[in-house]
Structure 1
Amino acid sequence: MQLISNVPDSFWGLFRTKNRILYIEVLMNLNEEYQYNNYFISWDVCVQVISNFFHVRIINLEDEDQESDIDKTQPPATRTLNLLIKMGWLKKLEDYSQGITNIVIPDYSAVMIDAFERLYNENDDEAEVYIRNVYASVFSYMNDSRGDISFLNNAMQNTRILNKSLQNMLHNMNRFFSNLLDQEFYGNLLAEHLNVYVEEVVKKKYHILKTSDNFYLYKNDIKSWLRGIEERTSEKVFTLDNSDENRLLLDRYTKELNLVQEISRGFDEIERRIFFMDKEHTKYVRATVTRLNYLINEDRDTKGLIIQFLNYVSSENCSNAADTLRDAASFVHLTNMEIMSSRRFYKKRKTKSDFTAQLEPDTEIQQDLTKEEILRMNRTHNKYSKMQIEEFIESGIKGDRFEVTDNTVQSDIDFEKLILAYDYSIRRNSRFEVIEEGQEIETERYRYPKITFRRKQVGA
């Protein structure tokens, strides 16, 4: 008979009551005492256990629909015990010979209490135990002549449980990412990472499965034994014909091959899930570092200030988001587009002859500038300010232009300013433009091109 058929309807009422967390903890305390008392305890001991549990914490029992007015006037421990019995989580067993009322935990209730204990106290070494169980089961079946197929069934069940454990770890990573984004202060984020993620995942689970190489310590041996079992069984199947007397053997060998293949697929899934855990772990560490940097520099970093502004606009404190964005746009060019370069990004690949020509030594050797020449060029370029160069051009303008003649340069200072004026005028942000005449002017001491300076037109 299925165990669920024994569950009364009132049993599920525990999950709808407001006191369910308190009742669950009471059941776990009673179950712990229940195991140390030969699996039955008296009514008085139950009341004492519940009273001790209530004594160390502040409780607030809400009224239940199943309770009468008389039940509500009883002490909290007795009231809780009566309600759990009425719901069917506990049962009374009268011992008339000794005049004692014993309390027992039904089988279906024990299954649920075990589930509660797993939710409250997760077994940290569970992954290590399961992989060793697989190792021991496959080894026994491979080397024990009396080995039964139940060894492979046990190995398959443990492989499934290990896969599910890894899958739960993978799914729970979303919770850690959510907690990461909820932290608004540097200290809280660091405490969340060190006290929660490192303690619960890295040290207890991730470290056991990956860092200590527990899975990989047994994987190769298990997979080699599975291949040996598969080859040995396949040979037996090949030698048997499909007669009635061999039907039982064929069914046994077919089931054996199916179990071996399923365990092998399970190991492939374990490796795949560990790979995904590696990726999620790397993503979490990277996200933690990024979040820490943001919390440290959010008041000084441009991105941090932009995020604060966008959070403010989307919050309830911002009465008019459109006006706020419009005011911000008047100070910051949020949609400004800048052209990095007019040249194309793709550069055509040169031919082989051009490449070999670059390797040939130049016949014409250019002389390097001396130290004095470099210093003189730097001094010339930095000797005059932009205002002085503009004044030089303005002083020579007649009408709307400044034509350079043989009388323009009378000294070294004029020659240097003319050179810097030409360099300034060919720039895009200059107020002037230069027109080259294609001729040269040569005096006793200087030689320079014949050029004309002109003011740029507005909008040009």
Structure 2
Amino acid sequence: MNIFDEVDENLFRPLTGINKRKYVDILTLIWERCKRQPLYAIEKSTIFDMVEEYFNGLDEQVEFDIEEEIEGNMTDARSIAGSFIRRLKDTGWIIEKEGEYEEEFKLAVNYKVVPLLKSFQDIINPKITTYKGKLFKIYSLFEHISEQGSPYEGVLKEASEDFDNLNQALRSLSASIEDHINNLTQGKKPEEILELFGKYEENIVVGSYHRFKTNDNLYYYKSSLDDSLDKCESDLFDALILDYMDAEHVDKTEAVLKIKQLITKVRMDIGEMEDLMRNIDDRHIIYRTRAVQRAQFLLLSDGSVKSKINNLLQYYASQIETKEDLYEEDETICYDVFQIFGQNYFDSSSLAIPIKKRRSSPIELMAVIDELDMELVAEKRLKMLEYIRNALTSENVNAFAKDILQGKTAVSISSVFENKPDILPKVIGLYTYSQTSEREYEIRLKDTLAECNGIRFKDFIVEERKG
């Protein structure tokens, strides 16, 4: 299907003539007033008043295209406004609607062109994309998929669409990096550019963008998403099929095929997200490096002494084609400024530093080691075994979880601290390993706070992992 199968073929003609900027301004005014109204419609007189006020504010002579018709005085703002509104209506941007009982006629934005108007606004004022927020939403959906009554429509389908939006935003970010760097450096002196990127690395790259990539975000959620997709292919597969059949009105055979395809797509979306992040890294480094190199070049070409010396050295380098050129007499005006010597050029004023050769020396005999203290060895061995027992490994953390559960279904972690404040490191280990695939327990965060040794944190419940 072509776009002109849906909209008027003359839709874009007002935006191609001599008054294209005025038409866009008028469409923006109308859209701002109509976008929150039922049917995108407001009174006809209100739109005429708005456009008339716009032309009065311009305070300039309006020229017309051949296709534009005007009725009345060509200098009258009301007549001009009527001409522009009629053309927008004739080309399909706005439509006329009958008013309710005893109400005047209304003009409405054509619902079919609403995506275009939104796109115009996005180009002028790009939205700030919260990549972390989008990823956290997907993660949250999958975290509670087992409790969801409609796992396909409420989770899998929604997450797939969110991944489409997230990866599209990342692609836009990758494509816009060059413009972003150019806008940052435009009109700045070389010294300001170098200072800017010194702070840019710390405040933007590490402070914001890097945070999205690290364990708190992308890679932290990835393992959990993989686990949830595994669950979709096993425990939740039948529920997903039934929900798909109910939502899409298809038979079981088609539902099975579509659910498998959708799970595969989400896995590929996660992989694409990682590829996009690597591509963003590469492009970011390239354009940032180019900006810094350009600033350094300009800094060395500013007429200062350092710049002049740099130019002299570049001139000498351009004249050297063979080794023999290094030893020829310099008869240029640069001879009185400084002289260049080849490496390892020896004479009374040589720049080369003589290298002192190393001499061999006899191998010294090793001192006799005293007999080891076996009690000390045993003590160190016990300390090492104790360290291994208390180390925050996945095996020890799983053992700690079993120990505090002691056959119970679930235990609140705040109750474990009673008379045992020294187990705080193990509790931290429980939270740290709660997202790994080797865990034998699950945790659920509570809204209350727990405190131990002066440290406050969100209380959580530990329970045995199912399946």
TM range (shorter): 0.5 to 0.7
Secondary structure in 2 aligned to 1:148?
A: helix
CA drift at 1:154: 1.9
CA contact (8 A) 2:190 2:299 kept: no
Which residue does 2:290 correspond to in 1?
287
Question: In structure 1, what residue type is equivalent to 2:323?
Answer: E
For the pair shown, which has the larger CA radius of gyration, 1 or 2?
1
Which residue does 1:79 correspond to in 2?
83
Cα 1:267–1:84 change in 2 (3 A) is same
CA drift at 1:270: 0.7
The answer to whether residue 53 in structure 2 is matched with residue 68 in structure 1 is: no
Cα 1:7–1:186 change in 2 (3 A) is same
The answer to whether residue 34 in structure 2 is matched with residue 34 in structure 1 is: yes
Question: In structure 1, what residue type is equivalent to 2:51?
Answer: I
CA contact (8 A) 2:190 2:296 kept: no
Which residue does 1:186 correspond to in 2?
189
CA contact (8 A) 1:89 1:109 kept: yes
CA drift at 1:265: 1.1
CA distance in 1, matches of 2:275, 2:9: 42
Which residue does 2:178 correspond to in 1?
174
Candidates 85, 93, 105, aligned match of 2:109: 105
CA drift at 1:109: 1.9
Cα 1:71–1:276 change in 2 (3 A) is farther
CA distance in 2, matches of 1:208, 1:171: 21
What does residue range 13-412 of structure 1 map to in structure 2 within 5 Å? 13-38=13-38, 39-54=40-55, 61-70=62-71, 73=74, 75=76, 76-95=80-99, 97-98=101-102, 100-149=104-153, 151-176=155-180, 186=189, 190=193, 206=209, 209-210=212-213, 213-232=216-235, 248-298=251-301, 299=303, 300-301=306-307, 305=311, 334-338=319-323, 361=361
CA drift at 1:292: 2.3
CA drift at 1:159: 0.9
Cα 1:155–1:99 change in 2 (3 A) is closer
**Which structure 2 residue ranges, 5 or more long, are not aligned?**
241-249, 327-357, 364-467
Alpha-carbon displacement from aligned partner over 1:279-299 (angstroms, at most 9, x marks no partner): 222233332322222222213
Which residue does 2:376 correspond to in 1?
none
Secondary structure in 2 aligned to 1:11?
A: coil
What is the number of residues matched between the two proteins?
315
Question: In structure 1, what residue type is equivalent to 2:115?
Answer: V
CA contact (8 A) 1:92 1:101 kept: yes
Cα 1:37–1:176 change in 2 (3 A) is closer
CA distance in 1, matches of 2:156, 2:254: 15
- Identity among equivalent positions (%) equals 16
CA contact (8 A) 1:92 1:104 kept: yes
CA distance in 2, matches of 1:141, 1:124: 29
Alpha-carbon displacement from aligned partner over 1:303-362 (angstroms, at most 9, x marks no partner): 97499x9xxxxxxxxxxxxxxxxxx9xx98535322699xxxxxxxxxxxxxxxx88526
CA distance in 2, matches of 1:303, 1:82: 69
CA distance in 2, matches of 1:130, 1:112: 24
Question: In structure 2, what residue type is equivalent to 1:259?
Answer: L
Task: Give the structure-2-normalised TM-score.
Answer: 0.55
CA contact (8 A) 1:140 1:147 kept: no
Cα 1:224–1:338 change in 2 (3 A) is same
CA distance in 2, matches of 1:100, 1:202: 56
**Which structure 1 residue ranges, 5 or more long, are not aligned?**
238-246, 310-327, 342-357, 364-460
Cα 1:104–1:184 change in 2 (3 A) is closer
CA distance in 1, matches of 2:60, 2:218: 45
CA distance in 1, matches of 2:359, 2:227: 58
CA distance in 2, matches of 1:102, 1:66: 25
Cα 1:68–1:141 change in 2 (3 A) is same
Greater Cα offset, 159-168 or 21-30: 21-30
Which residue does 1:448 correspond to in 2?
none
CA distance in 2, matches of 1:203, 1:78: 54
CA contact (8 A) 2:44 2:106 kept: yes
CA contact (8 A) 2:41 2:108 kept: yes
Cα 1:228–1:99 change in 2 (3 A) is closer
CA RMSD of aligned residues (A): 4.6
Question: In structure 1, what residue type is equivalent to 2:262?
Answer: L
